[in-house]
C-alpha cells in the first residue's frame, strides 16, 4: 500500500478503508495527463528558481522514462498504489532517488487532480466533437442523394404532410450541429488551468501560473484557488452535452426501429448491424439501435449523479469529488461507442424509396395542399379547411385518396375545383412547392445542403490550432 501521507499516522490504514478510498482502478485513465501536468510544473519550478536546472533535468528524464515504460508495457500501473498521482511520484523516487521528492513542491493533489481531470475531459470534448462531425458527414451524404425521396412527415405519429428523406435527415443534421456548438462552447469555458491553486489557498512559492497554463495549452490560469480545486462545472456541462447527444441519437434510433418494422418497411438495417433470435428463425432485430436508445439512460444517470454529488459540497475540496470520475469516464466511452456504431448503422441502412413514397401517397398527407389550392381559387382558408375536411370524410368512406375522385365528385363538394387540382395534390408538387428556406422543396433543400457543406469544410479545431495532451 503506497501512500503519500503516512507522517502523522501511527497505525496502518484498515484494508477495507484503503480499498474504499483508493482511486487507482479508474484514475489510471489520466496517467498521461498526470505526467504532462507534472512535466509542466517542474519546468515552471525551474524557471522560477525553485528547482535547479539539474534537478529539473533529472526529474524530467524520470517522468518521461516512467511514461515510456508504462506505454511499452515494462511498468504496470497496479492497485498497490492509492491513486495515479502516488503511482507516478513513488516510481519517480524509486527511479531517481531523493530529487524525486521535490516534484510535489508547491502543489497539492487537489489542484493536481483538478488539472488531470480537466485535461482528460478537454481532450475527450475534442474526440466526441470529431465523431459528431464524422456523423454529420454521413448524414449530409444521405441528404444529397435523397432530395427527391418522398416520404410522409408525421405529427402525433400520424401522417401530416409529405417531406423528403433529405429533409427528415436534415432535421438531425441541425441537432448534431448544435451539439458541436455546445462542445466548442464548453471547451472554451473550461480551458483555464487550475494548477498552482495548491490545496485551496495557492502556495507561498513564486509560481508562474500563466507560464504553466500556456505550457499545457490553456487560455490562462483560473482566478480563484478555492474555486479551482472544487469546480466540476465543466464535467457537468460535458455530461449535459453528452446527454443531449444521446437524446438525439436515441430519437433517431427510435425512428429507425419503427421504420425497420414490418408495418413500415421504410428501411432495412444491414445484416452487419442486426442480430437474430435464438428461437424465432425469421427474426432480424434492430438491437444496435435499441442498445443506443437504452444506453441513453446510463448517460443521463451520470449527469444526475454528478449534479447530486456536487449540490451539497461546501468549499473547497471534498473527497466526494472523487466520484466525478467513474461515471464520467463511462459516459464518455458510451457516447463515443454509440456515435461510431450509429454512424456505421446509418451509413449502411437501405432506404426503401418505393415504400416511403407509397406511404406518402396514402393517409391524406396532401390535404393541406388541397385546401391551399382552394385558397388559390379565392376560397378563404377557414372555409377551404372545412371543405377539405368534408372531402376527406367522403374519401374515407369510399376508401380512396383525394386524387382518386373524379372532377365531378370534387365539384359536388366545391365548385371551385378544376382539372388542375390533380397536379396541385400530387406528391411531387406538394413537396416541390415548399420552397421557403428550411422547407423540403428541392431548391430550398439544395441551398441548405450547400451551406452544410461549407460548414463541414471548415473545422474549429484546426482553426484554433488546438494542442492536445
Ligand atoms: N483521488 C482524489 C480525487 O479523485 C485525488 C485528490 C485527493 N486529495 C485529497 N485531499 N485526498 O479527487
Q: pLDDT, tens digit, for every residue of 141-152?
A: 999 999 999 999
Residues 184 and 264 in one domain: yes
Mean pLDDT of 153-159: 96
Q: How sure is the predictor about 8, in pLDDT bands with cuts at 50, 70 and 90? A: confident
- Residue 431, domain member (yes or no): yes
CATH number reported for the structural domain that contains residue 74 in this entry: 1.10.275.10
Residues 133 and 275 in one domain: yes
- Residue 42, domain member (yes or no): yes
- Residue 467, domain member (yes or no): no
- Residue 153, domain member (yes or no): no
129 lines ligand 1 (CB under 6 A): no
Residues 238 and 284 in one domain: yes
309 lines ligand 1 (CB under 6 A): no
Residues 333 and 366 in one domain: no
Closest residue by Cα to atom 3, ligand 1, is 322
Mean pLDDT of 230-255: 98
How many CB atoms sit inside 10 A of residue 237's CB? 20
Mean pLDDT of 429-443: 95
- Core vs surface per residue 162-190: b (16+ CB within 10 A) or e: bbbbbbbbbebbebbbebbebbbebbeeb
Residues 65 and 198 in one domain: no
Residues 142 and 259 in one domain: yes
- Residue 314, domain member (yes or no): yes
Mean pLDDT of 455-465: 83
Residues 238 and 322 in one domain: yes
Domain boundary among 313, 348, 383: 348
Instruction: For helices 165-190 and 442-457, give the axis angle rounded to 10 degrees.
Output: 30
Mean pLDDT of 309-329: 98
Mean pLDDT of 435-445: 96
Q: Is there a catalytic annotation at residue 277?
A: yes
- Which one is catalytic: 127, 156, 240, 261? 156
- Residue 254, domain member (yes or no): yes
161 lines ligand 1 (CB under 6 A): no
Residues 114 and 62 in one domain: no
Mean pLDDT of 438-461: 95
Domain boundary among 348, 373, 408: 348
Least confident interval from 256-260, 269-273, 302-306: 269-273
Residues 295 and 180 in one domain: yes
Q: What is the pLDDT of residue 282?
A: 80
- Residue 344, domain member (yes or no): yes
Quick check: 351 and 139 in contact, CB under 8 A? no
CA of 47 to the centre of ligand 1 (A): 28
CATH number reported for the structural domain that contains residue 448 in this entry: 1.10.40.30
| Overall number of domains in the chain | 3
CA of 322 to the centre of ligand 1 (A): 6
CA-to-CA distance for 161 and 154, rounded, in angstroms? 7
CATH number reported for the structural domain that contains residue 252 in this entry: 1.20.200.10
Query: Residue 337 above 80 pLDDT?
Result: yes
Q: What is the pLDDT of residue 7?
A: 78
Residue among 114, 319, 326 to mutate when testing ligand 1 (max atoms within 8 A of CB)? 319
Q: How sure is the predictor about 2, in pLDDT bands with cuts at 50, 70 and 90? A: low
Higher pLDDT, 75 or 464: 75
321 lines ligand 1 (CB under 6 A): yes
Residues 288 and 201 in one domain: yes
Instruction: For helices 165-190 and 233-260, give the axis angle rounded to 10 degrees.
Output: 170
22 lines ligand 1 (CB under 6 A): no
Residues 293 and 437 in one domain: no
- Residue 10, domain member (yes or no): no
Residues 53 and 75 in one domain: yes
Query: Residue 468 above 70 pLDDT?
Result: no
Mean pLDDT for the chain overall: 95
Q: What is the pLDDT of residue 113?
A: 98
Domain boundary among 282, 317, 348: 348
Q: Which domain holds residue 388?
A: 360-455
Minimum-distance ligand 1 atom for the alpha carbon of 325: 4
86 lines ligand 1 (CB under 6 A): no
Report the predicted TM-score, pTM, of the whole model to 2 decimal places: 0.94
- Which one is catalytic: 145, 261, 277, 340? 277
Closest residue by Cα to atom 2, ligand 1, is 322
230 lines ligand 1 (CB under 6 A): no
In three-state form (DSSP H/G/I as H, E/B as E, the rest C), the secondary structure along the chain is CECCCHHHCCCCCCHHHHHHHCCHHHHHHHHHHHHHHHHHHHHHHHHCCCCCHHHHHHHHHHHHHHHHHHHCCCCCCCCCECCHHHHHHHHHHHHHHHHHHHCCCCCCHHHHHHHHHHHHHHHHHHHHHHHHHHHHHHHHHHHHCCCCCEEEEEECCEEEEEEEHHHHHHHHHHHHHHHHHHHHHHHHHHCEECCCCCCCCCCCCCCCHHHHHHHCCCCEECCCHHHHHHCCHHHHHHHHHHHHHHHHHHHHHHHHHHHHCCCCCCEECCHHHCECCCCCCCCCECHHHHHHHHHHHHHHHHHHHHHHHHHCCCCCCCHHHHHHHHHHHHHHHHHHHHHHHHHHHHHHCEECHHHHHHHHHCCCCCHHHHHHHHHHCCCCHHHHHHHHHHHHHHHHHHCCCHHHCCHHHHHHHCCCCCCCHHHHCCHHHHHHCCCCCCCCCHHHHHHHHHHHHHHHHCCHHHHCCCCCC
Amino acid at each position: 500500500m503506497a501512500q503519500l501521507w503516512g507522517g502523522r499516522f501511527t497505525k496502518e490504514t484498515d484494508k477495507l478503508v484503503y480499498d474504499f478510498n483508493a482511486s487507482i482502478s479508474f484514475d489510471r485513465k489520466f496517467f498521461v495527463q498526470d505526467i504532462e501536468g507534472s512535466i509542466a510544473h517542474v519546468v515552471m519550478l525551474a524557471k522560477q528558481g525553485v528547482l535547479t536546472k539539474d534537478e529539473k533535468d533529472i526529474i524530467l528524464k524520470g517522468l518521461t522514462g516512467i511514461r515510456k515504460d508504462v506505454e511499452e508495457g515494462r511498468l504496470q500501473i497496479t492497485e498497490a498504489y492509492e491513486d495515479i498521482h502516488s503511482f507516478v511520484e513513488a516510481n519517480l523516487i524509486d527511479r531517481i532517488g531523493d530529487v524525486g521528492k521535490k516534484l510535489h513542491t508547491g502543489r497539492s493533489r487537489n489542484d493536481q487532480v483538478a488539472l488531470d481531470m480537466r485535461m482528460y475531459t478537454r481532450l475527450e470534448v475534442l474526440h466526441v466533437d470529431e465523431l459528431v462531425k464524422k456523423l454529420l458527414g454521413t448524414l449530409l451524404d444521405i441528404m444529397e442523394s435523397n432530395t427527391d425521396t418522398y416520404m410522409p412527415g408525421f405529427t402525433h405519429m400520424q401522417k401530416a404532410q409529405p417531406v423528403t428523406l433529405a429533409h427528415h435527415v436534415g432535421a438531425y443534421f441541425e441537432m448534431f450541429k448544435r451539439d458541436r456548438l455546445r462542445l466548442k462552447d464548453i471547451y472554451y469555458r473550461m480551458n483555464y488551468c487550475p494548477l498552482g491553486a495548491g490545496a485551496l489557498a495557492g502556495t507561498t512559492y513564486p509560481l508562474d501560473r500563466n507560464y504553466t497554463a500556456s505550457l499545457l495549452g490553456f487560455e490562462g490560469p483560473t482566478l480563484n484557488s478555492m474555486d479551482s480545486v472544487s469546480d466540476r462545472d465543466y464535467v457537468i456541462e460535458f455530461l449535459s452535452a453528452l446527454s443531449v447527444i444521446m437524446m438525439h441519437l436515441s430519437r433517431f434510433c427510435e425512428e429507425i426501429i419503427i421504420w425497420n418494422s414490418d408495418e413500415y418497411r421504410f428501411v432495412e438495417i444491414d445484416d452487419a448491424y442486426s442480430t437474430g433470435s435464438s428461437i424465432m428463425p425469421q427474426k432480424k432485430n434492430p438491437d444496435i439501435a435499441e442498445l443506443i436508445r437504452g444506453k441513453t439512460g446510463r448517460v443521463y444517470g451520470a449527469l444526475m449523479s454528478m449534479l447530486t454529488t456536487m449540490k451539497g459540497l461546501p468549499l473547497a475540496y471534498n473527497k466526494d469529488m472523487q466520484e466525478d470520475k467513474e461515471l464520467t469516464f463511462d459516459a464518455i466511452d458510451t457516447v463515443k461507442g454509440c456515435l461510431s456504431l450509429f454512424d456505421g448503422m446509418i451509413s449502411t441502412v437501405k432506404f426503401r424509396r418505393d415504400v416511403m413514397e407509397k406511404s406518402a401517397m396514402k393517409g391524406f398527407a396532401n390535404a393541406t395542399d388541397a385546401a391551399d389550392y382552394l385558397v388559390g381559387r379565392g376560397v378563404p382558408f377557414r372555409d377551404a379547411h372545412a371543405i377539405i375536411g368534408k372531402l376527406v370524410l367522403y374519401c374515407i368512406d369510399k376508401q380512396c385518396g383525394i386524387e382518386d375522385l373524379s372532377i365531378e365528385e370534387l365539384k359536388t363538394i366545391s365548385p371551385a375545383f378544376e382539372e388542375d387540382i390533380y397536379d396541385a395534390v400530387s406528391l411531387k408538387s406538394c413537396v416541390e412547392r415548399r420552397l421557403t428556406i428550411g422547407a423540403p422543396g428541392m431548391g430550398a433543400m439544395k441551398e441548405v445542403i450547400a451551406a452544410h457543406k461549407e460548414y463541414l469544410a471548415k473545422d474549429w479545431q484546426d482553426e484554433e490550432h488546438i494542442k492536445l495532451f
